[in-house]
Amino acid sequence: MKFTLSTDHWLNEAKHVVSPFYDERPDDKDISLLVVHNISLPPGQFGGPYIEQLFMGTLNPNEHPFFNVIHQFRVSAHCLIRRNGSVVQFVPFNKRAWHAGASSFAGRTRCNDYSIGIELEGTDFIAYTQDQYESLAVVTNVLQAAYPQIEDNRITGHQYIAPLRKTDPGLSFHWVKYHKLRK
């Protein structure tokens, strides 16, 4: 599997679904953090169109009781990595996706301003797939080559930048495995 980055900050080999939920970064040269998340919709279920619908603002609240709670959220991530390793990109990397919320890394707040957010289709307690780790490793390498301020010590989980609010990617994310695949 190979990914390349276009001059307009999109992965050429990813599926492109442009979310309306992004805006300009305060400084588009300050891309210095990678945040790993997880998401499943409905919670604990994989597959289906619901994550894309959430990030597009088209989630139907009548399709599942949980959707009635979240259908009006204005959220996005730069990418989603599905269980089979396929990648969907919603926001160009040089723009600010709305993935981290109230957050702080190394004493600096507003992580959305300077981070890239990648969602893994999963939960805190179900193991991620080998395909997901492999895609995440390759995408990470591409991003670090394009945005050298994202050093290895600036790759983190949502749970670490919003610890009282978030728990993802959770205990099921194998950080050592992920980092070994990147070498």
The one catalytic residue in 13, 24, 63, 119 is 119
Token pair recorded at residue 5: 């980055």
User: Which residue in the block uniquely carries the two structure tokens 């599926």?
Assistant: 15
119 is catalytic: yes
Cα distances (angstroms) measured from residue 97 to each of 36, 53, 65, 180? 13, 16, 26, 27
Q: What is the end-to-end Cα distance of the chain in Å, rounded?
A: 15
Closest to 3 measured CA to CA, from 131, 141, 112: 141
Helix (H) or strand (E) holding 182: helix 175-182
Is it true that the peptide bond before 42 is cis, omega within 30 degrees of 0? yes
Q: What is the DSSP string of 43-88?
A: TT---SSHHHHHHHT---TTS-HHHHHHTT-----SEEE-TTS-EE
Catalytic residue numbers?
119
